[in-house]
Structure 1
Amino acid sequence: MRDAPPSDRDLVADAQARFNALANYRVRLKSISAGAEAVEVRYAYRKPGFVRMDFIRPHAGATLAYNPESGQVKLWPFGFDTFPRLMLSPDSRMIQSPQGHRIDQSDIGTLLIHVRELQQHGETQLVGVETIGMCRASHVIVTCVPGRAIAGVFRYELWFDIVHGLPVKVASENPSGKPIETVLMEDLRIDLPESQLEPFG
C-alpha cells in the first residue's frame, strides 16, 4: 500500500522553492527515450547557470561546459581540458539531445518551470509515496487539458524525494500518449563545497 502525501501540498511549488534556495548540485542522469540510444552523464550545475556534462554513454569521455557569462559552450570530445576544444552556441544542433534539449536549459529549475506551466493549463494528481532507487519519493502526475501541450509535453509524471523535495525521476508523454523521455536522477547532491565540484571550464 502506498503512503499518501498531504493532498493540499503543491509539490511542484515546493521543489521550485528548494531549487531557488540552492547554490549548486551534482547528479548522475540516465535518460531513455523511444528510438534513441540511452544517455548517461555526470551532470553538475552552479548558479547562476554554469553547467558541466561528462558523458558516460554515448560519446564516453566527452565533456560539455556552458558558461552563462559568455553564453558559449565548450566541447572537449576526448575529455575535459584536452585538445581539440570547440566553442559552440547552446542552440547548435551538434550538442542538442534527440528531443531538442539545450545545455543552457537542462537544469532542474527549467524543468520545473515547464511543469508549472503545464499545471496552470491542466490538473495535478498526487498518487502516493513510492520507492525510487534508494529513496522514498512522492509520485505526482501533471496532465494538460486536451488539445494543449507545453514544449511538446502533454503529461509529466514526477517523483519528488521526500527528504530534499527535488525530482529524482521524470517521465514525459506527448499529446498522443506516447512516451517522450524518462530521466532518472541518481545520487543527487545539493550545495556541495566548491572543492567538491569539478571546474566548469
Structure 2
Amino acid sequence: MAWFMLLLALLGTPASSDPLAEAQERFRALTSYRVTVRLSAEGSEQHVLRYFYRKPGWIRIEFIRPHPGLVLIYNPDTRRVRVWPFGLNHLPRLNLAPDNPLVRGPHGIRVDQSDVGVLLESLRERQARGSLASLGRGEVAARPVAGFEIRDGTGGNPSSTHYYRVWLAQDSRFPLRVERFGTGGRLLESVDMADVEIDTPFPERFFTP
C-alpha cells in the first residue's frame, strides 16, 4: 500500500483540491474564451454583452444592452482601448486609456481588469483572508455546477458581512455565476456567463479590425 499512497501524493487527489486554485490553474492553461455575460447590479440597468478574450490579454466586448452596437477592444501591447460607439463600420472611433470613465463598467470596473483570471485572483485573495464553504451542486445555463461561498475573515456579526458566491462548471471549473452580497444577505450584484467556449479560435484580425 505504501507505493499507492506515494502515487496519490505525487498525483494529487482532485476531490480534496481547492476549487478556486483549480479554477486558476485551468485559466492559466487556456489560450482564449468567449462568453455571453449578463450583469445585474443593484440600482443599475442590466448589461448584456458578448465577451471575447485571448492571451496575453486581448479583450473584445460587443454590447447587446444597453448601447447596442457599441464595441470595445483592449490592446495589451499599447494598453489602450479602442471604442466604436455605433459599431465597427461606423464613425466615430475613439482611442482611450483603460481608466477613462467613459469605458469603465458598473462600480468602476476597468476593461483591462475584466477577464475571468482577474476575477478568480480577487476571489482567492478574499478566501485567503477568510473562508471557503461548499454550497453543493446545481445547474447554471443548463450546465452542472458546484457552488462555493467566500467570506472575508473580518469577524463581527455575520449578518453584516459582505460575501461572494461563485458557481463553477463541474467539468472545466470555469465560473458561470458570481454573486456579491451585502448587509443582511442583500444581493448587490450578479454576473451570469452563458455560451462559454474555451480555447476557441478567432479570425486573424478579430482583435485588430
TM-score, normalised with respect to structure 1: 0.89
Question: Per-residue displacement from partner, 1:48-107 (whole Å, max 9, x unpaired)?
Answer: 000000000000000000001001000000112431100001001111112110100000
Question: Per-residue displacement from partner, 1:8-57 (whole Å, max 9, x unpaired)?
Answer: 33110010000000000000000001000000000000000000000000
What is the match of residue 145 of structure 1? 153
Whole-angstrom distance in 2 between the partners of 1:173 and 1:146: 15
1:147·1:175 contact (CA, 8 Å) conserved in 2? Answer: no
Whole-angstrom distance in 2 between the partners of 1:145 and 1:11: 19
Give the letter aligned to residue 129 of structure 1.
Answer: R
1:23·1:191 contact (CA, 8 Å) conserved in 2? Answer: yes
C-alpha spacing 1:198/1:126, structure 2 compared with 1 (3 Å): farther
1:118 is paired with a residue of what secondary structure?
helix
What is the match of residue 73 of structure 1? 81
What is the match of residue 108 of structure 1? 116
Which deviates more, 166-175 or 95-104?
166-175
Percent identity between the two aligned chains: 38
Find 1:10's aligned residue among 18, 32, 55: 18
1:177 is displaced (CA, Å) by 4.4
Runs of 4+ in structure 1 off by over 3 angstroms are 174-178
What is the match of residue 173 of structure 1? 181
Structure label with greater radius of gyration = 2
What is the match of residue 3 of structure 1? none
Q: Which runs of 5+ in 2 are unaligned?
A: 1-13
Q: Greater helix percent: which structure?
A: 2
Whole-angstrom distance in 2 between the partners of 1:105 and 1:161: 22
RMSD (Å), alpha carbons: 1.9
Whole-angstrom distance in 2 between the partners of 1:74 and 1:101: 16
Find 2:132's aligned residue among 120, 124, 127: 124
TM-score, normalised with respect to structure 2: 0.86
